[in-house]
Structure 1
Amino acid sequence: MAKSVENQVEQTKVLPQYVAALVANLLVASVGCAMSWTSPTLLKMDSGETDIPASSDEKSWIGSLTPLGAVFSPFLAGYTADRWGRKTTLIATACPVIVGWVLIACAEPARSIPLIYVGRIIHGLCLGVAFTVIPMYCGEIAEDKVRGALGSFLQIFVSLGSLSQYAVGPYVSYLVLTIFSATVPFLFAVTMWFIPESPYQHVMAGEEQKALEALQWLRGTSVEAVKEELAIIKENVREKMENKSTPRDLISTKASVTALYLSMGLLGLQIFTGIDAILFYCQDIFAASGGDLDSSVSTIIVGMVMLLASACTPFIVESLGRRILLLISAAGMAVSLALIGTFFHLLNNNSDTSSIGWLPVVSLVIYMIVFSIGFGPVPWAVMGELFAPNVKSMASSIATSFCWFLAFLVTNFFPTISKELGSDYAFWIFGIFAVVAFVSVFFLLPETKGKSLQEIQAILGG
C-alpha cells in the first residue's frame, strides 16, 4: 500500500490542475471586465464620445448596479452548483454575461440608460455566482500542495479583467469596448467545455466512474493511481451529507458567532477602505486630479501594479501570518488615502499642485500594492479558516452577499460624496476606515496561520 501511495505521488502532475483553474477563472476575468467597464466608459459619456446622455445620478447607478446584483445570487449559486454541478453552473453563467453585454451594446443606438441598467444588474448576478462557485470548484480539483496557489487565481483574474478595461477602453469606441468585453465569457464557455467536472460533484451525484475519469485527467495519472484519493473524497462527501447545517447552526456556538462577526467585519472594512470606488471610477479620479500624466496612462499603471501585486500575493500569504499582512495593508492604505485626500484638498482650495502632480498616481500605486497583499485576498482566506466545515458554505454565502451590498452602497454614494463634500473628504473617510481596520485587526483578530481547525475553534470559543 505504501508503495502504491508513493507511486501515485510520483506520477501526479499539477499542470492539468493549473489549466483547469486558469480556464475556470476566465469567467472571473469576464466579470472583472464588467466591474471596471465604468472607468473608461463614464468619461466617454462626459466627453460626448458616446451618444448616451447620462446625469450624475444615472452614472452613479450605472456604477453601483453590478454589486447590487451580486447581493442576491450567492445563495442561488450554492444550490445550483450542488444540484446541477459546478461546471454546468459556470458555463450557464457565461450566457447571461454575454446577454448583458449585448444589452449594453444596444443601449448606444437606442440612447437608453435603462438597457445599461439591466445589463449591469445581469452582470452583478453573474458576479455573485462566479465568486461563489469558482473558489468551490478550484478547491475541489486541487491537491493540497497547489490549493493555495489555485485559490489566488480569483484575485489575479479580477485584476486582469480590470486591466483589460483600463488598457483598451480609453482608446476604442463604446461599441468596440463592449464587443471586446463580450469575447471573454465566450472564450470561457468554449474552453470550459473541455475541462472536467469536480470529482466531488460526481461523487455527490453517485457517478463514481466519472469521478475516477475526472481525477485521472486532473492528476495526469492512470485510473488505478487515483482510486485511493477517490475513497477519501467519498468519505468527505459522506461526512458532509451527514452534517448538513441549518441557519441556527451559525449562532449555536460562541465560536460560530465570533467567526461570523470577524468575517463580516473584515469584509466590511475591505469595502469601506474604498477599493470598489477606486476600481469603478479610477479614470474619473485621475481626470479630476489634473495630474502630469494622462488619466488613461495613470489608470493603466495602477491596473498593472494591481495585477503584479496579486500575482505575488500567494508567496507572501504563505510566508507571513494573516494578522501581520492585514496590519501592513491597513497602515499602508491609511497613509496612501490620507495623501491623495490631502492632494485633492489642496487642489480644491486652489493651491498650486504642479510640483506634486505625481502624488495621486504614487498614492494609488501604494494603495493597490498593500491592498493586494492584505485586505484584498486575506479576509477571504481567513473566512475559510474560521468556520467549521458544516457551516462554511452557508456562512460564505451570507458574508459574500453582505460584502457586495456594502460595495453597492460605496459605489453608489462615492460620486455624490465627492460632489457634495469634495474628493478630499471622500478619500479621508476611506482613510479613517483604514485606521479602524488596523485597530480592529490588532485587538480582535487571532492569528490562524499554522493552526488546525480545532485550535482555531477553541480560540474563538474561549
Structure 2
Amino acid sequence: MPVETEKVDDENPDSFNISEEIIHRPDVVPQVKPRWKDAVPQVLASCVAHSIVIQAGVSMAYSAVLLPQLTEPDSILTATKDQSSWIASLVTIGTLIGSLVTGPLMDRLGRKTTCQLSCVPLVVAWILVCLAQSVGMLYIGRLLAGVGGGLSTVALVYVSEVANPKIRPMLLCLNSVFVSFGILLTCVLAQWFSWRGMAVWFMVLAAFSFMILWLVPESPHWLASYRGKKGHSLEAAVRWLNRHPQRYQEEMNTLMEAAQQTRNRRNEGRGLKFLSNSIFVPSTLKPVVILLFIFLFQQLSGGYVVIFYAVNVFKVVGGNFGSGFDEYDTLVFLGLIRFVMSIIAAVASHRFGRRPLSMLSGLGMCITTLIVGIYLHIEPVEYTGGFLNSENRTETVVTTEGEHWTCVVCVLLYVCFCSLGVLVIPWTLIGELLPIKIRGIGGGFMVGIAYILMFGVVKSFPFVLDVTGAGGIFFFFSVMSLAGVAFVYIFLPETLGKTLQEIESYFK
C-alpha cells in the first residue's frame, strides 16, 4: 500500500492535503486542499464496493454454524466427518478460482462491473444451499460461494482507484472490517435462524449489493487507461467523485497523464524476457519468499481454523456450557471481537507499523494457545461424539467449571490477538513488498498460494485433531505462532513511512 507524507493545514483543520496520486499514477500535489466533506462521495463509493466483501466473512463463519447442525441426530440432511471437512474447505478452493480470474475480468469488463459480477455466483450459491437435499448440493453451493468471495477482491482495486491518497489507507483497511462484519453477522443470525434460514438472508444481501453498485460510478482510472473513454462517461465518473470544480479539472488532467503512462508500461511489459528479468531478481525473489513463509505461519497458527470450526472448537475446549449459555452465545462474542479488533488493527497498523503489530499478535496467540494446551493436557475435555461426528470418539465431559471457562476465555483472547495482526497484515504486505512491475501477477500468485494453504489446513484439521488430541493441536498452534514471531523479527522489514521505491531498493 502506498505510503504518504502527511501535511496539516493549520488554518483549516477540516481539510486534508494530498501527497501522492492513486495507484498507477505519478506523484501529484494538487493546488486545491479538499475538505473532509469533499471526500464523502469517495467514502460512499468505497463502502458500497466493500459491501461485496461481507460475503467473504460470511463464507468463512457459515461452516461453523452449518456443520454442528448437520451432525445432530434429528437433522434431515447429515454429513460424515470427511464430508463435513469438504463442506468447510471447498470455499477456499472456490476463492482461489475467483481470485485468479479477477485480474483479467476487471481489466476487460471494468472494476464496478466485476464487483457486480461477483454477486451472481453468490446468489446462486445461497439458493443451492437453502434448497440442498444432498451433500453434493452443499458442495456446489460452498464452491460457488468461494468463487464469489474470490471475485470480491476487485473491491480493493476499485477503492484504491477512486479514493483520495489521504484517506486511501483507511478505506483500504475497511476491507478487513467488512470481512469481520460478515463473520459477526453470521454469528448473530445463528441465534435465531437455522442454516437454511440464514442462507436466505445471505442471498438477499448479495442481491442488495448487486443493486446498490448501480449507484456508484465506474473507476475513472479504468475508463481512461483501459478503454480510453475521454467523453461523457469518464467526465461523469470524475465529477461524481470530485464535486469541487477545480479538483475535478485537476483530476481529469492527472488521469490523462496517468493513462498514457499506464499504456506505455503495458506495451513495454510484454514477453518472456521482460518477465524473466523482473522475476528472477533479488527485489522479487526475496519478498516472495518472505510472504510465502508469513502466509505459512499464518495458516499453521490456526486462526482461520478456529473461525471455520468455531462451534465445534468451543465444544472441544469447553464441553457443556450450561446455565443457559452455550457455544452459540460464545460464537457471537467471537464475531464481535473479530469485528472490533479489525477496526483497531486498521488504525494501529498505520500508527505503529507492521512489524510491532505482527509480533504482538503472534506472542499473544502463542501464550493463549499454550495455556489452553496445558489445561487440556492436565484435564482433557472429552467431547461426546468427538469432532465432526467422528466415529472414533465417544467420550463425555470431565473438565471442571473453572478449567472449562479458562479455556474458552483463552480461545476468545486468541481470536482477539490474531485479529490484531496475523489474520490482517499479511494480505496488506502483498501490495507493499512486491515490486511494481510484477505486482499484478505476483499478487494473484500469493493470494492463490495463501488459499491453497488455507484449504490444506482447514481440510486436514479434523483428522489431525483425532491423532494429536485437543491439547496437542493447541500446543502446535503455540509453537507455530512463536515461530512466526521469530521469522517476522529476523526477516520482515518495517514498511511504515517508506515509499514503494525505498522498499524495493531494500530488497535489492
TM-score, normalised relative to structure 1: 0.93
The aligned runs of 1:32-71 (5 Å cut-off) are: 32-48=57-73, 50-71=75-96
CA separation of 1:172 and 1:48: change in aligned 2, threshold 3 A: farther
Match of 2:418 among 371, 384, 400: 371
1:440 maps to amino acid: F
Measured in 2, the distance between the counterparts of 1:10 and 1:56 equals 56
1:9-408 paired onto structure 2 within 5 Å:
9-10=34-35, 13-48=38-73, 50-107=75-132, 110=133, 112-131=134-153, 133-204=154-225, 205-209=227-231, 210-222=233-245, 224-244=246-266, 245=269, 247-288=275-316, 289-290=318-319, 292=321, 293-345=325-377, 346-348=379-381, 352-408=399-455
Deviation at 1:393, TM superposition (A): 1.2
Q: Secondary structure at the match of 1:358?
A: helix
Q: Secondary structure at the match of 2:166?
A: helix
Give, in angstroms, the shift of residue 458 of structure 1. 1.8
Percent identical pairs in the alignment equals: 25
Further displaced range: 79-88 or 15-24: 15-24
Q: Hey, what's the Cα distance between the residues in 1 that align with 2:230 and 2:405?
A: 60
Q: CA deviation at 1:12?
A: 6.6
Amino acid at match of 1:212: E
C-alpha distance in structure 2 between counterparts of 1:17 and 1:268, whole Å:
35
CA distance in 2, matches of 1:163, 1:186: 20
Structure (1/2) with the larger helix percentage: 1
TM-superposition CA deviations, 1:217-276 (whole Å, max 9, x none): 122333x53222232233333333322346435523211111111122222222221122
Q: Is the 8 A contact 1:73 1:125 kept in 2?
A: yes
Asked whether the equivalents of residues 29 and 184 of structure 1 are also in contact (C-alpha less than 8 Å), the reply is: no
1:49 deviates by 5.3
SS of equivalent to 2:190 = helix
Q: What residue in structure 2 maps to residue 436 of structure 1?
A: 483
Tell me the distance in 2 between the aligned counterparts of 1:351 and 1:250.
59
- Give the number of equivalent residue pairs: 453
**Aligned equivalents of 1:234 and 1:332: distance in 2?**
48
Deviates more, 1:438-447 or 1:372-381: 372-381
In structure 2, the CA distance between the partners of 1:176 and 1:10, relative to structure 1 (3 Å rule), is closer
* Cα deviation, residue 5, structure 1: 4.4
Mean Cα displacement is larger for which, 240-249 or 254-263?
240-249
* Matched residue type, 1:399: M
Unaligned runs of 5+ in 1: none
Deviation track 1:392-423 (CA, whole Å, cap 9, x = no partner) reads 11111000000011110111011111123212
The one-letter amino acid of 1:198's match is S
| Deviation (angstroms), 1:194 | 0.8
Matching residue's letter, 2:180: S
The question of whether the paired residues in 1 share the 8 Å contact of 2:362 and 2:482 is answered with yes
Q: TM-score, normalised by structure 2?
A: 0.85
Report Cα offsets for 1:57-107 as digits up to 9, x if no partner.
Answer: 000000000001222232211000000001111101101101011111121
Output the amino acid matched with 2:400.
Answer: T
- How far residue 170 of structure 1 moved from its aligned partner, in angstroms, is 4.1
Change (3 A) 1:50 1:231: farther
1:417 — aligned with what? 464
Residues 191 and 329, structure 2, Cα contact 8 Å, conserved in 1: no
Flag structure 2 segments of 5+ consecutive residues without an equivalent.
1-28, 383-396
Residues 174 and 454 of structure 1: CA distance in aligned 2, closer, same or farther (over 3 Å): closer
Q: Is the 8 A contact 1:306 1:372 kept in 2?
A: yes
Distance 1:291 1:155, change over 3 A: farther
Q: Distance in 2 between matches of 1:219 and 1:163?
A: 33
Secondary structure of 1:300's aligned partner: helix
Which region of structure 1 is more displaced relative to structure 2, 378-387 or 327-336? 378-387
- Give the whole-Å Cα distance in 2 for the aligned partners of 1:230 and 1:380: 31
CA–CA distance in structure 2, aligned partners of residues 238 and 49 of structure 1: 64
Q: Is the 8 A contact 1:140 1:199 kept in 2?
A: yes
Contact 1:417 1:423 in 2 (8 A): no
Deviation beyond 6 Å, 4+ runs, structure 1: none
Using the alignment, how far apart are the partners of 2:37 and 2:285 within structure 1? 40
1:250·1:257 contact (CA, 8 Å) conserved in 2? no
Is contact 2:99–2:151 with CA below 8 Å preserved after alignment? yes
- Shift in alpha-carbon separation, 1:199–1:59, aligned structure 2, 3 A: same
- Partner SS state of residue 47, structure 1: coil
Q: Is the 8 A contact 1:343 1:353 kept in 2?
A: no
Alpha-carbon spacing, 1:55–1:351, altered in 2? closer, same or farther (3 Å):
closer
Offset of 1:114 from its aligned partner?
Answer: 0.5
